[in-house]
Amino acid sequence: MYTFSLESVLNHKAFIEEQLQKELAVFKAILEDEKNHLGKLINTKKRLTAELQEKQKDGTSISEIILYIKFIDQLINDADKQKKKILDAEKRLEKKRDELIEAMKNKKTLEKLKEKKMNEYWEDLSSNERDFMNEVAINGFNRRM
């Protein structure tokens, strides 16, 4: 029976690919969380801005307006920091995706080699069987004569 001499290497490549797929899924989840956090910051800023406008119409004290403005400014700063975190998470995700693509290529190369070697094995086996059958037929013919 045919055995591929690099089977253990192929198994290792498959394991690496599987690990990278899991890591990629984690990176995607992290990116999604970062985006959700940014969305919450933006929504809070919008809500507080609307509240501030209502309070200004109602004639609220300057100290309360200043508190709102400081808090909104802090939200803007936090949102800017969050955007940087998102960019960083996207870069890490893209890097991991590239690693996964490279691992998939490496595994695919070995799979193609395994398939090629298996085809060669079956062709050799078939050829040997044909040669044997031809020899049996020739010997049978020679005995009859």
> What domains lie within the chain, and their CATH numbers?
7-109 (1.10.287.1700)
Mean residue pLDDT across the chain = 94
How many CB atoms within 10 Å of residue 35? 16
Would you place residue 68 in the very low, low, confident or very high pLDDT band (cuts 50, 70, 90)?
Answer: very high
- Poorest-confidence range of 22-31, 86-95, 97-106, 130-139? 130-139
DSSP calls for 74-139? HHHHHHHHHHHHHHHHHHHHHHHHHHHHHHHHHHHHHHHHHHHHHHHHHHHHHHHHHHHHHHHHHH
Average pLDDT on 88-104 reads: 97
What confidence score (pLDDT) does residue 74 get? 97
What confidence score (pLDDT) does residue 137 get? 86
- In 3D space, the residue among 11, 38, 26 whose CA is nearest the CA of residue 110 turns out to be 11
**pTM score, whole prediction:** 0.76
Query: Is 94's pLDDT higher than 90?
Result: yes
Return the residue matching tokens 């070995």: 110
What confidence score (pLDDT) does residue 77 get? 98
Provide the angle, in degrees to the nearest 10, between the axes of the packed helices 7-58 and 62-144: 160
Would you place residue 142 in the very low, low, confident or very high pLDDT band (cuts 50, 70, 90)?
Answer: confident
What confidence score (pLDDT) does residue 88 get? 98
What confidence score (pLDDT) does residue 71 get? 96
Would you place residue 144 in the very low, low, confident or very high pLDDT band (cuts 50, 70, 90)?
Answer: confident
Cβ atoms of 110 and 6 within 8 Å: the answer is yes
Average pLDDT on 16-38 reads: 98
Residues 6+ apart with CB under 8 A from 83: 38
